[in-house]
Chain A
Amino acid sequence: MKDRARGLALAAALGLTALTAQAKTLVYCSEGSPEGFNASLYTAGTTFDASSRQIFDRLVEFEPTNLTIVPGLAESWTISDDGLSYTFKLRAGVKFHASRNFTPSREFNADDVVYSFERQLLVDHPMHNVSGGQYEYFESMDMPALIQSIDKIDALTVRFTLNRPEAPFLSNLGMDFASIMSREQADALLAAGTPEKADLQPVGTGPFLLLAYQKDAVIRYKAHPDYWAGKAAIDDLIFAITPDASVRLQKLRAGECHVMAYPNPADIASIRSDPALILQEQAGMNIGYLAFNTEKAPFTDKRVRQALNMAVDKQAIIDAVYQGEGMIAKNPFPPTIWSYNESIQDYAYDPEGARRLLAEAGVSHLETDIWAMPVQRPYNPNARRMAELIQSDWAKVGVTARPVTFEWGEYLKRSKMGEHQTVLLGWTGDNGDPDNFLFTLLSCGAARDAANRARWCNEDFEALLMQAKSTADIARRTEYYEKAQVIFKEEAPWITIAHSVVFMPMRNEVVGYRIDPFGLHKFYGVDLQ
């Protein structure tokens, strides 16, 4: 009986190998089910992994190593001198997926670009209200206010006209919500009275086409045979949805999958020492920080904020909270993003100096709260532990801090309303543009009940951000952002704590995998030996 059972398991394992030999099948153990297959309707990375990263392309894409914008479905583009008009020359000969539900009769053209954006932009578009009609990413990148019109110039030329100059606009077009969908499919489904199928049976131009999806179980893709950049090296791609990280690792070890998502921090050491596995790692495009509520005394005084910066032993936090696998943050965005100011000096750990500075500011017996998230986030694996460490560091300089936590939704809401004195939070970049960190998290507009949890508004800083927005010249923008980082450090609205490291365990036979700088998972370019 034992032998028979072993034989069966062996047959199953061999089956996977045999399958790999005939048609190359890569199995990825993913962490959850996508919310749907139209990336513009959702905001979760799990959804982008399953939809936009495999099935769709965008006009522009990010070069993974330095995050510069490279051509995607647009071969080239020109930006008018006033920064208000973006004209894209589209790639010719790009084919949409043919599936059992839809056979395209034409190639990709300007109509598809106009459709993909107008569906989100125009509330009276016939597809706008389909599948709930909420386009939160499009909204939160302020696209409705930004885009005046999208015009088809000819079959392969599209022009976006903006209401105001916005340099990061080009980066926005590389984001998942800007995936290009098939207008022809939408028209056909509208005519058939089943428009919602466009979001369930997606038709894109991307490297993989969706074959089947069973919720919470498996997603199956096939390589797009006519992909414009060349067919993927693997023939089939399978997402084996496996919510528990320990089980994902067991599956990886047993050869039931080739690549796994999000390992447990505690398993990193054992993965490193396993000869059958490879562990890729890369600095994450994120920041974990503590924000002072600069509208509440004594955090209105920058000396207090500076003193509390000096009082925190960041290395101890990296060791205890990030298990040594993180990088001390000195700027509000990670070094992988252009315009990162290397010359900035972080506040050194100096409890004595902190005590002096607090005395100078006339602050004694300070009592404060430290809000700690109840959930694990990519930029902070254990906020409660982090809050305890900061509490003990601050106690050494005479500050009494009390860790506080709420349910995640409440936490977000209350901290947005500024109920906290100090709050732990973080951010993962959307598009590799410094503006995505600085403007979203630290601008005056965001200080009014939005993502600026420090509620910090500095005129000089704001002026630099606005200048940087108004020019497309990267050299000039870099200059503005470098200056802005100097002001940020001096004013200290945050304690910049850490940039976490992203890990990607895979089996030895996987070649060509590159960690995505945004923490997503893309399988074009991956092969099996």
Chain B
Amino acid sequence: MIRFILTRVGLVLPTFIGITLLAFAMIRLIPGDPVELLVGERGMTAERHAQLRAGLGLDKPLLVQYASYIGGVLHGDLGKSIVTKRPVSEEFFTLFPATVELSLCALLFAVLLGLPAGIIAAVRRGSTFDHTVMGVALTGYSMPIFWWGLLLIILFSGILGWTPVSGRISLLFYFDAVTGFMLIDSLLSGQEGAFVSTLSHLVLPTIVLGTIPLAVIARQTRSAMLEVLNEDYVRTARAKGLAPLRVIGLHALRNALIPVVTVIGLQVGVLFSGAVLTETIFAWPGIGKWLIDSISRRDYPSVQGGILLIATTVILVNLAVDLVYGLINPRIRHNR
């Protein structure tokens, strides 16, 4: 097991270096000059322009810039935002809990609905339920997030008035962030109604962000279950006279879970990319919108730092998924 873990961790390092290089190169490959964008139509003299670029270290050769960036990263310094002049890591970790909270809720929503839906659809293959689940899943998967979000806001917040339009909590509540996770902070604040307000603000963004993972998980669960349900050992279990729930829950599901867990792990990346749009629609103060703003302003340190930290999170989650495989299926950890 230790060797298995070491091999997996060993793979993380080159990925990590690759990401720093990609993030560094990509933001510089797209046209645009952060200094020019600072002043807009006004413009500035060539001397001032050169002076500001030098101040940001952008006048140095790319290799030197990359080396100094990596040097900073290794010392835990991601640099300062060109726009706000604040440390990138500080900005990231202020906003990150909001994205994590929303992503976890969306993932929970997707798993809690997608897993049972996929299982039932597989067990009742060809039934109306199966067709409905697969139809809805396909629709959900194809739904543009922006349109879906606005549609839900207009219906549930505008016409029905059931949910708040946007934000994380009603503006009535005012307390200092302790953990950055509003569900926890609202409980800690002790203010009556704060937790309920947080929950009500989570409903629509959770549904919007969770829709695509829900569709993917439901479809994946169904197909994995179908495959397993045709296996000999399931037939044997049934022939032994085991209760259908036991056959499905214990014998079939456990083996069907591996591809499903893979997909759930991969959804973390999908959630982060979906968060960009969801956060913009619901005015959710997370890293998705921050990263997009940073890209459009060519805020190099923020983009590099943001991508690096997000990628690190995705890598760690996938590492965890790899390790979970080992737990679910001992054959994986022995196959080297």
Contact = CB atoms under 8 A, between A and B. Distances in A.
Contacts of B37: 408-409, 412
A281 interface: no
Interface stretch (B10-18, B151-159, B213-221, B318-326): B151-159
Contacts of A11: 193
B84 A254 contact: no
A121 B64 CA distance: 32
Interface in B129-182: 150, 153-154, 157-158, 160-168, 170-172, 174, 176-177
Contact of B200 (A2, A9, A212): A9
B162 A5 contact: yes
Contact of A250 (B91, B165, B196): B165
B42 to A, nearest CB: 5
A451 B164 contact: no
B123 interface: no
Contact of B289 (A8, A16, A216, A451): A216
Interface stretch (A132-140, A187-195, A385-393): A132-140
Contacts of A136: 38-39, 44
Contacts of A16: 170-172
B192 to A, nearest CB: 11
B67 interface: no
A: interface residue count bin: 35 or more
Given A240-B171, A254-B158, A409-B32, A12 B197 contact: yes
Nearest to A253: B158
A356 interface: no
A462 interface: no
Given A9-B161, A407-B30, A426-B41, A247 B84 contact: no
B289 A243 contact: yes
Contacts of A254: 157-158, 161, 164-165
B50 to A, nearest CB: 12
A113 B172 CA distance: 37
Given A409-B32, A413-B36, A217 B91 contact: no
Interface string A1-22: 0100110111111011001000
A124 to B, nearest CB: 16
A214 B177 contact: yes
B161 A6 contact: yes
Contacts of B153: 247, 250
Interface string B45-80: 110100010010000000000000000000000001
B39 to A, nearest CB: 5
B45 to A, nearest CB: 7
Contacts of B94: 215
A6 B157 CA distance: 10
A250 B42 contact: no
B222 interface: no
Contacts of A450: 43-45
Contacts of A5: 162-163, 200
A81 interface: no
B44 A19 contact: no
A35 interface: yes
Contacts of A140: 39, 42-44
Given A12-B200, A15-B170, A217-B285, A36 B31 contact: no
A241 interface: yes
Contact of B172 (A8, A15, A244, A250): A15
Contacts of B289: 216, 243
Q: Which of A32, A131, A242, A426 has the most CB of B within 10 A?
A: A242
Contacts of B172: 12, 15-16, 19
B334 interface: no
A238 B38 contact: no
Interface string B237-266: 000000000000000000000000000000
A359 B286 CA distance: 60
B272 interface: no
Given A250-B154, A451-B41, A451-B43, A408 B162 contact: no
A27 interface: yes
A240 B285 contact: no
Contacts of A413: 33, 36
Interface string B76-94: 0000100111100001001
Interface string B95-124: 100100000000000000000000000000
A8 B197 CA distance: 8
A293 B168 CA distance: 50
A242 B166 contact: yes
Contact of A9 (B34, B85, B98, B163): B163
Given A6-B162, A11-B193, A256-B171, 6 more contacts: A238-B171, A244-B281, A407-B30, A407-B31, A409-B37, A449-B46
Interface of B: 30-34, 36-46, 48, 52, 55, 80, 83-86, 91, 94-95, 98, 150, 153-154, 157-158, 160-168, 170-172, 174, 176-177, 193, 196-197, 200, 280-286, 289-290, 293, 298
8 contacts: A43-B42, A212-B174, A218-B167, A243-B283, A251-B165, A254-B158, A412-B41, A426-B41
Interface of A: 2, 5-6, 8-13, 15-16, 19, 25, 27, 32, 35-36, 41, 43, 131-132, 134, 136, 139-140, 212, 214-218, 220, 238, 240-244, 246-247, 250-251, 253-254, 256, 406-410, 412-413, 416, 425-427, 440, 449-451
Closest 4 pairs (CB-CB, A-B): A216-B285, A217-B285, A409-B32, A132-B85
